[in-house]
Amino acid sequence: MLGYLKRIKLSRLNIPDGIEFDGSQKQNIVLSKLALLVILIASVHLIDDGIFASESNNFYLILTEFLLVVIGIVTYILNEGRKHGIAKHFFLLSINILLFFMNTIVPKESGTFFFFFPLMAATFIFYGYSETFKRYFYLILTSSLFIVLTLLDFNIFGLMVEMDTAYDFITNLLSSNILMVMTIHFLIKLNKQTENNLLDHQLGMKKLVDELKDKNIHLEKANTELDKFAYCVSHDLRAPLSSILGLINLSSLEKSAKVHQSYLDMMKDMVTKLDHFIHDIISYSRNTKLELEIEEINLEKLVNENINSLKFMKGWNQIDFILDINFKHPFVSDQSRISIILNNLVANSVKYHDFSKDKPYVRVLGYSKKGADFISIEDNGSGIDSEYHDKIYQMFFRGNVNSTGSGLGLYIVKEIVDKLQGEIIMESTPGVGSVFTIKLNTHVNP
């Protein structure tokens, strides 16, 4: 055994870096490497002692070397065959017995017994914290064998050979020390990796908790909005329906055709309001559900279509619609979402116009600036009071007593702009007018 272990190369026990292994995988790799090392070193000695046989090489020494080769092969096959548990038991048991036997045939002055110490240390590699019983079993076995040897003065079977031990003592002491250091180094490395894994795990957990907190905040917001939504929707749907029902009751009692006509006009207004409301809810739902569809858009055409679709609005024909669409490149975005934005903003400009003004106008601009696309809708209408500036994007907010809308328009516009990863900027002065500017990232290709 003396020479076998002294040739161990440190690198044989190194674990490949940059690959994630857990402790047990590393144990298995170390076991296979140890088995190969034993095969290699024992074979060299076997050939050496077999060919250059001298008087000191007795039969038992060669037998021990041969058995070492067998132990190495069997351990390797078991371990590579994924029978790691059996491989560890087999290796530790047989090496313990063989080391014991070897110490009875080579003089104690050779220091072969030093190898009991790295063997005990190696037990800590193979049986970690969770395998206390097995670990203590092998620790007690190794120390017992060593104590028995010492108590019986090594030459137990009377097979001790005569040999020069001065050189062997130093090499055995050195090799067993190197083995000890390697074992301890391996255990420290394993511990460090466990610490790092734990740290990574903690960081991962923290990230997860932060994500959860974030999601919770979003959920709470969604929940509050849903409550508000359910309340307002049911109210805004029921109110016109109850009014229509009331008007139907009244008309059934009324005989005058003129009054009937006025009831019908009122009903028409209510149905139109309901229709707008349902239209807004559909737009909102579409924005949340549908994926973005980026394509090239003829904005001028789209704006004109939107303006024309509003021609039944009160005061529409008194407004001067001015268009100035001038992008540096083809305008690319999600057509149906841009259409909803335009529809809401232009409709508001018409709805909240100040017809006492000389020249009521709505100006729609499209331009590119500093790598972004801008669409702005400007009017010289009633303007918005500064106290409402930070409220107008809220769900169901109506800032005007005359508003007959759902209070969803600007909320939907803001949601869409967020989905398009853009920005909406509003400047408004009561009595002067308002400008809503949408800033969008330039998409070059659809």
What gap in Å lies between CA 162 and CA 166, rounded to an integer? 12
Beta-carbon contacts of residue 365 (< 8 Å; ≥ 6 apart): 324, 325, 326, 374, 375, 376, 378
Of 47, 40, 77, the C-alpha closest to 62 is 47
- Please state the closest distance from residue 193 (CB atom) to ligand ADP, in A: 58
- Please state the closest distance from residue 251 (CB atom) to ligand ADP, in A: 28
Residue type, 67: L
User: Nearer to ligand ADP by C-beta: 46 or 408?
Assistant: 408
DSSP state of 292: P
User: Nearer to ligand ADP by C-beta: 180 or 377?
Assistant: 377
Instruction: Give me the phi and psi of 115, to 5 degrees please.
Output: -70, -15
- Please state the closest distance from residue 357 (CB atom) to ligand ADP, in A: 13
Of 58, 64, 59, the C-alpha closest to 42 is 64
- Please state the closest distance from residue 389 (CB atom) to ligand ADP, in A: 10
**Interface contacts to ligand ADP, rule CB under 6 A:** 344, 348-349, 352, 379, 381-384, 392, 397-400, 403, 405-411, 434
User: Tokens 């849903």 identify what position?
Assistant: 226
Pairing of strands 320-326, 372-379: unpaired
DSSP state of 14: P
What gap in Å lies between CA 275 and CA 129, rounded to an integer? 71
User: Nearer to ligand ADP by C-beta: 37 or 340?
Assistant: 340
Beta-carbon contacts of residue 346 (< 8 Å; ≥ 6 apart): 303, 306, 307, 310, 362, 364, 377
- Please state the closest distance from residue 427 (CB atom) to ligand ADP, in A: 11
User: Tokens 């005569």 identify what position?
Assistant: 162
- Please state the closest distance from residue 423 (CB atom) to ligand ADP, in A: 17
User: Tokens 């090489």 identify what position?
Assistant: 57
Give the nearest residue (CB) to ligand ADP: 405
User: Nearer to ligand ADP by C-beta: 136 or 231?
Assistant: 231
DSSP state of 382: S
User: Nearer to ligand ADP by C-beta: 377 or 440?
Assistant: 377
- Strand residues in 187-331 grouped as ranges (E): 294-296, 320-326
Between vectors from CA 193 to CA 142 and to CA 76, what angle results, nearest 5°? 45
Of 355, 346, 352, 359, the C-alpha closest to 304 is 346
User: Nearer to ligand ADP by C-beta: 335 or 400?
Assistant: 400
What gap in Å lies between CA 324 and CA 367, rounded to an integer? 8
User: Nearer to ligand ADP by C-beta: 121 or 362?
Assistant: 362
User: Nearer to ligand ADP by C-beta: 189 or 389?
Assistant: 389
User: Tokens 């995988």 identify what position?
Assistant: 25
User: Nearer to ligand ADP by C-beta: 385 or 423?
Assistant: 385
- Please state the closest distance from residue 271 (CB atom) to ligand ADP, in A: 17
Run of H or E residues at 125 = helix 116-126
User: Nearer to ligand ADP by C-beta: 379 or 415?
Assistant: 379
- Please state the closest distance from residue 367 (CB atom) to ligand ADP, in A: 20
- Please state the closest distance from residue 410 (CB atom) to ligand ADP, in A: 3
- Please state the closest distance from residue 398 (CB atom) to ligand ADP, in A: 4
User: Tokens 């400007």 identify what position?
Assistant: 378
